[in-house]
Structure 1
Amino acid sequence: MRRAVVLFIVLVVLLGTLLGLRLVRDRRAAEGPPGGSGVVEGTVVDVRSRLNARVVSLHVEEGSRVEKGALLATLECAEPEALLAEAEARLEMTRAQAHAAEASALASLRTSEAVAAQADGTQAQIESLAAQHGLAARHAERMELMGDAVTVAARDQARAQAEALSQQLAASRHSNSAASRQARAATEQQRASHEQALAAAQAVQAAEASVRRSRLSVAECELRAPLSGAVETLALDVGELALPGTVLARLVDTSNPRATFYLPNAELSSVRSGEPSTVRADAYPDRTFPARVITVAPKAEFTPRNVQTRTDRDRLVYPVEVRIEDPEGLLLPGMPVEITLSERSTAVAERRP
């Protein structure tokens, strides 16, 4: 009986000691700098297919590290390459048509200029013949007025000369009218040829755009890394069909690791964006990593339905994200860490009214 009492007393003392130590540790933690637990996160990028094609080959393995621009996978490219060849052939054809249209427009311009010059020449000829006809007609009238003073042959010759010039003048006027119509027609033809040349040039631009689009499709046959990082997953194997929008690989960039922890409402005043902090990882117990707060969420999480009492308000927590300095790349995504805010920021928060 006495032995049982002794064991009971020893057990009570031991439990009391453990409880006291736990209370002391909790109190020291509460009095220490604020912080919390989190996991290391990296920048995650999904590499997606833009084509409906089969996977021909994979050039990386899961877990391997790749540099930006590295070839990840090759897709079957027969159809995009055929479309590119067709677009390039159409481009050559439209360029030839554009050259022909330009030559036709230039020829039409030269023809229009020649016809216009011809019309100007006939107009000058009309003016010259009109002057000559006027002189011949007045000479014939004077010969008629002179009567028997001149011979009949001379009078007939004067009238014949005036009549001939009159006929030449009429013919020149007809020629000028025809030349003017030809000039107008040549001008319209030149304008139409110019419009055709412009349309051909626009067709060349459209064909060039089609070639660029086809080349982009061919370039999508090779999926490359958009950033440096580790290959977390490869979603497809060789021979599987990649549909547009299908995730083929997931990359994680660990060059700028981050971690998120949660601060209760009562400790929110102790943190501001840009303030320093310290990170410890279980994998490296004797080492700390400097970090800096980059964001403090403006909205609480795990919020009670009705916030009415002080206890309820203390249950509000706010996500805080820090960026960790890890130039050696020791911290891997998913690794648990402990984040502690610097004592300087805690002291500043305590001095705030």
Structure 2
Amino acid sequence: MNQWEQRSRRLFWPLFGVAATAILGAAGWGLWQLRKPADPAVDPLAKLTVPVTSANLTVKIDASGTIRPIQTVNLSPKTSGRLLELYVEQGDAVQKGQVIARMDDAELRAQLARAQAGLARAQARLAEAQTGNRPEEIAEAEARVNRSRADVVSAQARLDLARERLERNRSLAEAGVIERDRLDGFEQEARSAKADVDRAKAALVESQKGRDRIRNGSRIEDIAAARADVAEARAQMALIQTQLNDTVVRAPFAGFISQKYAEPGSFVTPTTSASSGSGATSTSIAALASGLEVLARVPEVDIGQIKLGQTVEITADAYPDRVFRGRVKLVAPEAIRERDVTSFEVRVAILSGQEVLRSGMNVDLVFVGDRLPQAVVVPTVAVVTDRGRTGVLVPNATQKPEFRAVVLGPTLGNQVQVLQGIKPGDRVFTDLPPGQTLDSILNNKAKPGNGRSANP
């Protein structure tokens, strides 16, 4: 036998004795506990009921929400085109009216130059109509009248000669000296001379009218038409200038660039979301946002306790150890119903933490409501319903559960305020005695079963 075996034998028996003694002692203690009489001071309802208490409480309503900008807009040009320059980056702070981007305006500048030239021509015509004609123009018109008058005199002389020949040859024809065909020629000559006189007289009348117009200057109608041409040219130029100004995209309000959607060279178009600003579009240039607020949804059952100006405690997932302050700024007048759940949107102004909170963060909210001095409260699990009546179970004279109707106030976490029906010091059941069910208690008949919570 080696030294290790000898030492093992010496250690085994003492340890065995200790273990056996411990086992026997435990068995003896257990038998003593079984035979020990019950403590008469232990209340058999202590584990099934709790006392009704009162305390100074503050109503608090929990909700969740999302941080979002107070105002946001997607910036886009008023007309389609290619983005020439972009002057901002995501996160940049901008002021109202600051230039954000510039569109390609080469074609509009060419149109503006043509419009300016058209305006200059219209203005020149108006000036000419308003100032009248020069002396040399009047002299030339007078000369045309004189030439026309001379043409009339010459034509009249030819007509007189033709008529004289016609009369002389008509007498000869009647005497049989000349043939009828020759007389016809003289008649044709007279008719032609008469037509020349008529044309010369008409030309004289027109030249006289032209001379008179030049002497008197332009007519009122001509001046009015020239003025209308000038106004039209100015309107066309103003339209093109407006389109040219619209190629410069400016910030409509002060804020920060929350998103950038385009780069120089991109083709962008007007978008309807430029006014609403709730969604990003591939045709926008950038998104501009201003300020932060919390958009929360409060269940219908709690909305009556939410008031304008109410204090709100805000906790963000990104900063779980910090509580930020807020204030209710708007309660939506219309409910939202999703998946059979009715709730109301509540907008909360952020009073602290703007330097660290970011748009899109998820937050938990606690709406701090009214203070309830010495409010009587019971656990929510103690509340039961009997045929439409709300109440609690209290011990009767025989210490058995008995239904008592109550009037409830707001729920405070796992407790609910009781406005009427019980008082501090009363006890209410939170669990049922063995062998009883809620139905058997409410119907006053016993049914076998295990004890369970009083809350159905």
1:258 to 283, 293, 302: 293
Matched, 1:289 2:325: yes
Decide whether the 8 Å contact of 1:232 with 1:252 is kept in 2.
yes
User: 1:327 and 1:101, CA in 2 relative to 1: closer, same or farther beyond 3 A?
Assistant: farther
Farther-moved stretch of structure 1 (241-250 vs 81-90)? 241-250
| Richer in strand (by share) | 2
User: 1:200 and 1:317, CA in 2 relative to 1: closer, same or farther beyond 3 A?
Assistant: same
Matched, 1:40 2:67: yes
Shift of residue 334, structure 1, vs aligned partner: 0.7
Query: Structure 1 CA distance, aligned partners of 2:268 and 2:371?
Result: 51
Match in the other structure for 1:53:
81
Query: Structure 2 CA distance, aligned partners of 1:340 and 1:226?
Result: 35
Match in the other structure for 1:235:
261
Shift of residue 50, structure 1, vs aligned partner: 2.3
1:169-180 equivalences under 5 Å are none
| Richer in helix (by share) | 1
User: 1:202 and 1:45, CA in 2 relative to 1: closer, same or farther beyond 3 A?
Assistant: same
TM-score, L = length of structure 1:
0.56
Decide whether the 8 Å contact of 2:67 with 2:360 is kept in 1.
yes
Per-residue CA deviation, residues 62-93 of structure 1 (Å, 9 max, x unaligned), is: 22222222222222111011111111221222
SS in 1 for 2:358: coil
User: 1:325 and 1:90, CA in 2 relative to 1: closer, same or farther beyond 3 A?
Assistant: farther
Query: Structure 1 CA distance, aligned partners of 2:287 and 2:76?
Result: 9
User: 1:244 and 1:265, CA in 2 relative to 1: closer, same or farther beyond 3 A?
Assistant: closer
Match in the other structure for 2:361:
335
Query: Structure 1 CA distance, aligned partners of 2:132 and 2:314?
Result: 77
Match in the other structure for 1:270:
305
SS in 2 for 1:250: strand
Matched, 1:217 2:253: no
Matched, 1:64 2:83: no
SS in 2 for 1:56: strand
Query: Structure 1 CA distance, aligned partners of 2:355 and 2:241?
Result: 37
User: 1:103 and 1:67, CA in 2 relative to 1: closer, same or farther beyond 3 A?
Assistant: same
Larger Rg, first or second structure (1 or 2): 2
RMSD: 3.4
Shift of residue 292, structure 1, vs aligned partner: 2.5
Query: Structure 2 CA distance, aligned partners of 1:34 and 1:63?
Result: 35
User: 1:244 and 1:282, CA in 2 relative to 1: closer, same or farther beyond 3 A?
Assistant: closer
Query: Structure 2 CA distance, aligned partners of 1:206 and 1:252?
Result: 41
Per-residue CA deviation, residues 248-296 of structure 1 (Å, 9 max, x unaligned), is: 1111112xx2222112221121123454434333444334223223232
1:108-147 equivalences under 5 Å are none
User: 1:35 and 1:208, CA in 2 relative to 1: closer, same or farther beyond 3 A?
Assistant: farther
The amino acid of 2:259's aligned partner reads T
Identity across matched positions, percent: 22
Match in the other structure for 1:91:
119
Query: Structure 2 CA distance, aligned partners of 1:224 and 1:345?
Result: 49
1:200 to 215, 226, 235: 226
Query: Structure 1 CA distance, aligned partners of 2:312 and 2:230?
Result: 60
Match in the other structure for 1:17:
none
Decide whether the 8 Å contact of 2:328 with 2:346 is kept in 1.
no
The amino acid of 1:194's aligned partner reads I
Shift of residue 235, structure 1, vs aligned partner: 1.8
Match in the other structure for 1:115:
none
Shift of residue 104, structure 1, vs aligned partner: 4.1
User: 1:274 and 1:296, CA in 2 relative to 1: closer, same or farther beyond 3 A?
Assistant: farther
> Number of aligned pairs?
230
Decide whether the 8 Å contact of 1:303 with 1:317 is kept in 2.
no
The amino acid of 1:39's aligned partner reads T
TM-score, L = length of structure 2:
0.44
User: 1:297 and 1:258, CA in 2 relative to 1: closer, same or farther beyond 3 A?
Assistant: farther
Decide whether the 8 Å contact of 2:331 with 2:344 is kept in 1.
no
Shift of residue 229, structure 1, vs aligned partner: 1.9
Farther-moved stretch of structure 1 (36-45 vs 70-79)? 70-79
SS in 2 for 1:247: coil
2:315 to 280, 284, 287: 280
Per-residue CA deviation, residues 6-45 of structure 1 (Å, 9 max, x unaligned), is: xxxxxxxxxxxxxxxxxxxxxxxxx841241111111211
Query: Structure 2 CA distance, aligned partners of 1:338 and 1:203?
Result: 67
Per-residue CA deviation, residues 43-72 of structure 1 (Å, 9 max, x unaligned), is: 211111223332222211122222222222
Per-residue CA deviation, residues 140-176 of structure 1 (Å, 9 max, x unaligned), is: xxxxxxxxxxxxxxxxxxxxxxxxxxxxxxxxxxxxx
